[in-house]
Amino acid sequence: MPSTNPNILVPVEDPKNDNIIVELASIIASPLQGELHLIHVAQKDRFDKRAILNDLSFIADNSTQNNVKTSVHVGNSVDIVTEIQSRIKELSCNMIFMAWRAEINSLSILASKNLSLTKDLNLDTLIFKERNLKKVKRILVPTGGGPHSILGIQIAYDLAQKWGAEIEILRIARNLNVDNLDPIHKRYCKQLLEDTKVQLDLLNISAAVHIKSAKHVVPAVTEYAKDFDLVVMGASNDWRQEEHLSGSIPDKIASGLECSTLMARSASTAETKLSKVFWEQMIRLNFRPKNKWEAIEQMIDVLIEEEQFPTEKREMVLNAANKRERQASTALGYQTAIPHAPIDNLPGIIGSLGICPDGLDFENPTGEKIHFIFLLLTPRENYRNYIPLLAQIANLVRATSFRSALLASQTPSEVTHLLKT
């Protein structure tokens, strides 16, 4: 999800006709009891504020979901960027949803003044280019695998759930020699598929994944997208493997698409180091719970023992963790499980680590025994910030040598040293 309580600013250029972006924004806000703020900035000295407010209210009444609280605002300034930045701060918004009306070229959207609105503000940014959007049956998410793509996947999933649409994730495996039978390239494709499935599992999202080999990213995506109604993708630095290409890959893709496009840029967040979350006192060696439910309970108790949250919150935290686990096993593969949950009024991400020498049945479909249990609790208002940590864990445990060293650790300090590598 974008955040647990999205507070979304929607600049409305045409108060009479901007129904579609308001509808999309409300779909994103709806599952999480979010709030919308519609704003029109008048640049004339004389304007009919009452008429504009009426038009905004009409759009709000006819385009938003029933449970989405919506407010309307009118500003007056020749400097639209400064006015909108001021309203973002005033209304404590954590997301902005904008329409893109101009033609798209290779440098237009993500290098435009649209993002000058948000470059100094820590909030998610969505930019929508409509091309005759009607009934959406199929949504494509081309992804480079980074945090912006994660936001794109979550947004696409919300929209698909609302519309009953199919969602498909596309990864491009660049192959300059176009020899798809090359063993190294086949291994690369397999790795991309595994990485993407891990990411979806961590997000608790079910979606088809397609790995396409191609010499060039942009034509491969635009060709594949021809049968889709909407394309959702992350900002350019998620495609850092393609940095040698000029311009922004998402912009280049968008310029070649025939369907509507939604671009997502995640709020910038500093990456939390694993060793800062799973410090020595949070680690339990020779961990031998009877089952995964006892494991989760005991690892929550570790956090209480180390005064990470008060005892009176124990039942609430336990219920939250168990609720997430009942949705689907958090077993990741590679002998690892990562139970996690959002918690109200938590000052930051906290976690505990249990190492099970005998292995534990975590009720995962493969039946693989789990040796490493990373429990993560994150503030509800910034729930998505846990995803980079999940990715760090996934990258580490994929290596057999790392798992062997973790299992052989004799002291918690040895574990924290491994987590720093």
CA distance 406 to 294: 22
CA distance 31 to 33: 6
Q: How many helices (H) and strands (E) does the chain have?
A: 14, 16
Assigned architecture for domain 100-268: 3-Layer(aba) Sandwich (3.40)
If we measure between CA atoms, which residue out of 106, 126, 100 comes closest to residue 266? Answer: 126
| Model confidence, pTM | 0.70
Per-residue pLDDT at 3: 44
Helix ranges (DSSP H) in 204-245:
217-224
Helix ranges (DSSP H) in 38-109:
49-63, 80-90
Helix ranges (DSSP H) in 78-165:
80-90, 113-116, 147-163
Per-residue pLDDT at 121: 64
CA distance 137 to 164: 7
Per-residue pLDDT at 239: 43
Each residue's pLDDT expressed in tens, for the chain with a length of 421 residues: 444 577 899 988 887 777 888 888 888 887 666 789 999 988 877 788 889 999 888 888 877 666 788 889 998 888 888 888 889 889 988 888 988 765 554 444 444 455 556 555 667 888 888 888 888 999 999 987 766 788 889 899 989 998 999 999 999 887 766 566 777 778 778 878 877 887 787 777 889 999 998 888 889 999 999 999 999 988 755 443 333 333 467 777 877 888 999 988 877 655 567 888 898 889 999 999 999 999 999 999 999 988 888 899 999 999 999 998 988 888 888 899 999 988 888 878 899 999 999 999 998 777 889 999 999 998 876 666 677 777 788 888 888 999 999 999 999 889 988 988 6
Crossing angle (nearest 10°) for helices 400-408 and 387-397:
90
Q: In whole angstroms, how large is the CA radius of gyration of the chain?
A: 23
Domain ranges for the chain, please list them.
Answer: 1-98, 100-268, 274-420
Kind and range of the H or E element at 124? strand 124-129
Q: In the 8-state DSSP scheme, what is residue 240?
A: G
Which parts of 288-368 are beta strand (E)?
A: 331-333, 336-337, 340-343, 350-361
Name 50's bridge partners: none
Write b or e for each residue in 238-255: b if 16 or more Cβ atoms lie within 10 A of its Cβ, otherwise e. bbeebeeeebbbbbbbbb
Q: Which tokens go with 110?
A: 């993500």
If we measure between CA atoms, which residue out of 313, 304, 265 comes closest to residue 281? Answer: 304
CA distance 351 to 376: 4
If we measure between CA atoms, which residue out of 77, 9, 87, 81 comes closest to residue 42? Answer: 77
Class of the domain covering 1-98: alpha beta
Note whether 1-98 and 274-420 share their fold. no
Class of the domain covering 274-420: alpha beta
Per-residue pLDDT at 248: 61
